[in-house]
Structure 1
Amino acid sequence: MIEIERLTKRYGDTTVVDDVSFGVEEGTITVVVGTSGAGKSTLLRMINRLVEPTSGRVLIDGQDTRSIPEDDLRHRIGYVIQGYGLFPHRTVAQNIATVPRLLGWDRKRIADRIEELLDLYQLDPAEFATKFPHELSGGQQQRVGVARALAARPELLLMDEPFGALDPVIRAKAQDDLLAIQRRLRATIVLVTHDMEEAFHLGDRIAVMDQARLIQYGPPAELLTRPAEAFVERLVGTADRPFRLLSLAKVEDALEPGLAEGEPVAASGTLYEALSRLMWCGRQDLPVADGTGSVIGRVSITGILAYGRSA
């Protein structure tokens, strides 16, 4: 559990983060969004004390980060920035090994961890371990940057606009890769972005900042259905709100009893995906299968639209 309590940062008469408080549950992704200059990146850097707060504190599992030596703290917190910050003169393996070496891991443990992370990111160790950053694509550099941040199994991963330099296709793949690995490792992540689509795709909870203040903090659906201020409403948009709600809800949320013909849709899929399938197939309903492949009911266009109206 990460607890951010009344964090404030002032530079002279200018307040860049103003009395911000929220908690991050273990194994979840919190996304911090807001306009340029809202204080997002400064907030992130105060968590690992790259920027010292003027007041307030950060607790990791109840321990005040001010009581942890700075080097120890940063070994416990992974940090990924836009551009990935890879050392250009070091190979992929040497980049990933940076923090484990500082922590005194033995060679075999380091080698095993490098191989594990490259396999996890579907980068063949035999091919990629000896490559240098300039020999990698943007997407590959991004994966190596995250692998390096995860190498010492940190308690928390901070990510500051990690996908900003990627083109849209690679960016979408990088986001999906992050979600898959986060679910597998149960990593706790705080990620900064200016992109609301990215925030809705990745975040279990979203923190909205404006003019140094925290305006709203909650699950994506809450921001869509109960925006705290007009600023939040403008940020999340109104025209496509029903479709965003459907992209957040699962098929099981609109499950109906009975049978239907056709190829089943997954209960864990989104209602937006199910609606797209129904319209593509020209059907009014389709069967729904659970994780074992067993049919547990059906989903219909009528049921999905009713769910959207009631949300």
Structure 2
Amino acid sequence: MIEIQSLTKRFGDTVVVDDISLTVDEGTISVFVGTSGAGKSTLLRMINRLIEPTSGRVLIDGQDTMAIPEDDLRHRIGYVIQGYGLFPHRTVSENIATVPRLLGWDKKRIAARVEELLDLFQLDSGEFARKYPHELSGGQQQRVGVARALAAKPALLLMDEPFGALDPVIRHKAQDDLLAIQRRLGTTIMLVTHDMDEAFHLGDKIAVMDQARLLQYATPAELLTRPAEEFVEKLVGTAERPFRLLALGKVREAVEPGAATGKPVSASATLREALSQLLWMGREKLPVVDADGTPLGRISIGGILAHGRQPA
């Protein structure tokens, strides 16, 4: 658990983080959004003490980070930035091994961990281990950057605009990969983004910041249905709100009895994805199947819209 208690940062007379308190539960993803200059990245960097707070404190599992030597703290916290910060003259395997090597792991243990992470991130060891960053695509560099941050098995991963340099198709794949890996490893993640769709896709909770203040810290559904301030309401988007609400629901929640013809919709798909498929195919109804292809019923445009109108 990460507890941020009255955290404040001033540079001269300018307050860049203003008395922020929140709790990040273990094994969850918290996403920080807001305007440029709102203090999101500064807040993130105070977690691992790249920037020292003016006042307030950060507790990780009850321990004040100010009581932990800086190097030890940063070895316990993974950190991923836009551009990934890979060492250009080190191979993929050498980049991933950076923190374990600093921690004094033996060579056999490091090699096993590198192999494990390459496999986890679907990077064939024979093909990628000896490559250099310039030989990788943007998506591959992103995966190596996250793998390096996870190499020493940190309990907390900080991510500052990690997908900002990726094109939209690769970016969405990278988001899905991160979700899958986070669910598998149970890593607690704090992530900064300017992309509201990304925030709603990834976040268990979303923190909205403006002018150094925390305006609301809530689940995606609560932000959409009960925004705390007018700024939050504008940020989540009035026109986009119905579609974002549908993106939070799953097809399995709106399955109707009965049969339908056409390409089946997965029960694990979002209601937004199902609506897109129905409209694209010009169908009122489509069959729904579970992961092993077993028919579960059908999904309809009317059913999706009715589900979306239900109060939160």
TM range (shorter): over 0.9
For 1:98, the equivalent position in structure 2 comes to 98
Tell me the equivalent position of 2:225. Answer: 225
Match of 1:149 in 2: 149
Q: CA deviation at 1:292?
A: 4.5
Distance in 1, Cα, partners of 2:279 & 2:83: 40
Distance, in Å, in 2 between the alignment partners of 1:291 and 1:28 is 25
Within 1, Cα distance between the matches of 2:68 and 2:119? 33
Distance 1:279 1:166 in 2: 28
One-letter code of the match for 1:273?
Answer: E
Structure 1: runs of 5 or more not aligned:
none
Letter in 2 for 1:129: A
| CA deviation profile, 1:49-75 (whole Å, cap 9, x unmatched) | 111111111111222212222111111
Q: Percent identity?
A: 79
Name 2:193's counterpart in structure 1. 193
Partner residue in 2 for 1:30? 30
Residue 310 of structure 1 aligns to a residue in which SS? coil
Matched residue type, 1:243:
F
Q: What secondary structure sits across from 1:165 in the alignment?
A: coil
Using a 3 Å threshold, how does the CA distance of structure 1 residues 294 and 236 change in structure 2: closer, same or farther? same
**Cα distance between partner residues in 1 of 2:284 and 2:214:** 43
One-letter amino acid matched to 1:83: G
3-state secondary structure, aligned to 2:18: strand
d(CA) in 1 for partners of 2:211, 2:280: 44
Counterpart CA distance in 2 for 1:275 and 1:147 is 35
Question: Are residue 137 (structure 1) and residue 147 (structure 2) matched?
Answer: no
Distance in 1 of aligned mates of 2:136 and 2:300: 45
Distance (whole Å) between structure 1 residues aligned to residue 172 and residue 84 of structure 2: 17
Alignment match, 1:305: 305
Q: Distance in 1 between matches of 2:40 and 2:272?
A: 30
SS in 1 for 2:38: coil
Bigger mean CA offset, 65-74 vs 42-51: 65-74
Gaps of 5+ in 2: none
Q: CA deviation at 1:10?
A: 1.1
Distance 1:62 1:291 in 2: 40
C-alpha separation in 2, matches of 1:303 and 1:42: 44
175-184 or 9-18: bigger deviation: 175-184
The question of 1:163 aligning with 2:184 is answered no
Q: What is the SS of the residue equivalent to 1:88?
A: coil
Offset, 1:260: 4.1
After TM superposition, the structure 1 = structure 2 runs for residues 55-66 of structure 1, keeping only pairs within 5 Å, are 55-66=55-66
How far 1:183 sits from its partner (Å)?
A: 1.7
CA shift, 1:277, in A, is 2.5
Matched residues in 2 for 1:282 and 1:68: separation?
60
Rounded to whole Å, the distance in 2 between the matches of 1:269 and 1:4 is: 35
Superposed displacement of residue 80, structure 1: 0.5
Residue 108 of structure 1 is matched in structure 2 by: 108
Instruction: Name the CA distance, whole Å, in 2 between partners of 1:8 and 1:80.
Output: 23
> Shift of residue 261 of structure 1?
4.4
* Distance (whole Å) between structure 2 residues aligned to residue 285 and residue 125 of structure 1: 45
After alignment, is 168-177 or 4-13 more displaced?
A: 168-177
Deviates more, 1:275-284 or 1:200-209: 275-284
State the partner residue of 1:48. 48
Q: How many residues align?
A: 311
- In structure 1, C-alpha distance between the alignment counterparts of 2:104 and 2:244, rounded to whole Å: 47
Paired with 2:293 and 2:166, the residues of 1 have a C-alpha distance of: 36
Give the letter aligned to residue 28 of structure 2. T
* Deviation sequence 1:210-257 (CA, Å, 0-9, x none): 000000111112111111111111111111211111111111222334
> For residue 235 of structure 2, what is the aligned residue in structure 1?
235
Distance 1:65 1:205 in 2: 23
The answer to which of 235-244 and 171-180 deviates more is 171-180
In the TM superposition, residue 266 of structure 1 has moved relative to its aligned partner by 2.4
Secondary structure class of the residue paired with 2:279: helix
Secondary structure of 2:309's counterpart equals: helix
Q: Which residue of 2 aligns with 1:207?
A: 207
Q: Which amino acid aligns with 1:106?
A: D
RMSD of equivalent CA atoms: 1.6
Match of 2:41, SS state, is helix
C-alpha distance in structure 2 between counterparts of 1:256 and 1:12, whole Å: 61
Report deviation, 1:78. 0.1
Distance in 2, matches of 1:287 and 1:297, equals 6
- What residue number does 2:18 align with? 18
